[in-house]
Amino acid sequence: MKQLLAAALLVFGALTARAEGSSDPLAWLGRITMAGKQLNYSGLVVYHAGERSETSRISHMVVAGDEFEKLETLDGSPREVIRTRDEVRCFLPGQRTLIVDQPLGRRSFPSRLTSSYASLAESYRIRKGEVSRVAGLEAQQIVLEPKDELRFGHVLWADVKSGLLLKAKMVSRSGKSIEQFAFSEINIGAQMEQSEFRSRFDNANGWRVINARGTELAGDSLGWTFRNPLPGYRMTSAVKRSIGPNRGDVTHMVFSDGLAAVSVFVEQVSDDDTSPEGASTSGPVNIFKRRVGRFLVTALGEVPDKALQMLADGAEPVVR
């Protein structure tokens, strides 16, 4: 009898632990992160930001641990983006232009979360919301409320079965939607061939090819320091790129808290440069510019103005 009771308690304990794990919002963030990287899927994504709306077809496949991703816009200006482990190729047929870059870790929907998702609890209050339906699938809502004024809030909806992110909304402190991505159709576990991840513009002749690849920077080679580091953010990449024979180089640094991201560009400008300083906006992207001696520092991202100004105001060249 004692053995039966002990076995029953053991089973009950295991079931309880599993239930508690599934109710942990951080565990859900882990599922979302892994699903976006490890699953095959194909579907239609609708993007909304203010008056702007765009529909795209996205396909994602994993072969022997390597990811292949293809994004095609279906309305507005045509665009194809193909991402592999080694490079990102952006085809702009309207401009007969191909931009080739290296992947720098910043990913798009539905792979919005980085592997450092566990640190999000430092900057957000994270809780589970209701279960609802997105693209015909049961979806668990996860709410991330910012603890400060240096980031916006986020609401995520993950497929209950697979953990794949089906919908993501960025919201202001008042709860107003800033931008939203959502699948309208989705096939999780789709069977695809590697040939499907080639561009239909691959054989286009006479196109302008822009090589945006740069030299990765670290440590002393960065040349810049920031006196006002943003709490919860860390530098995730730094690259120096050439921007033309007459303009020299630009240093591009990315800071992220695991969800929100800020890009900082530093370029040398002439004494008679009249680039406006201060804050501006472009859709959901906020921008802040500041002159630092012979350099123009531009901070931009889908974050509050305060974060951009704080980071840009603290930017200083390293004196050797």
- The alpha carbon dihedral of 305, 307, 310, 315 has a sign of negative
The CATH number of 19-197 is: 2.50.20.10
Q: How far is CA 145 from the centre of its chain?
A: 18
42, containing H or E segment: strand 41-49
What are the φ and ψ backbone dihedral angles of 125, each rounded to 5 degrees? -85, 120
Report the amino acid identity of residue 147. Answer: K
Q: How far apart are CA 289 and CA 233, in angstroms?
A: 20
Indicate if 214-317 has the same CATH topology as 19-197. Answer: no
The CATH number of 214-317 is: 3.30.200.100
Q: How far apart are CA 116 and CA 5, in angstroms?
A: 41
Query: What are the pLDDT tens digits along the chain (320 aa)?
Result: 434 333 333 333 333 333 334 578 999 999 999 999 999 999 999 999 988 899 999 999 999 888 999 999 999 889 999 998 888 999 999 899 999 988 876 678 998 887 677 789 999 999 999 999 999 999 999 999 999 999 999 999 999 999 999 999 999 988 899 999 999 999 999 999 988 898 888 776 789 988 888 888 877 778 899 999 899 999 998 999 887 666 678 999 999 998 999 999 999 888 778 888 999 998 889 999 999 989 999 999 999 999 999 999 999 998 76
What are the residue boundaries of the structural domains of the chain, listed by start? 19-197, 214-317
What are the strands, taking DSSP E only, across 64-116?
A: 66-73, 80-83, 88-92, 97-101
Name the residue with tokens 């919005």: 112
Q: How far apart are CA 150 and CA 275, in angstroms?
A: 26
The C-alpha R_g of the chain, in whole angstroms, comes to 22
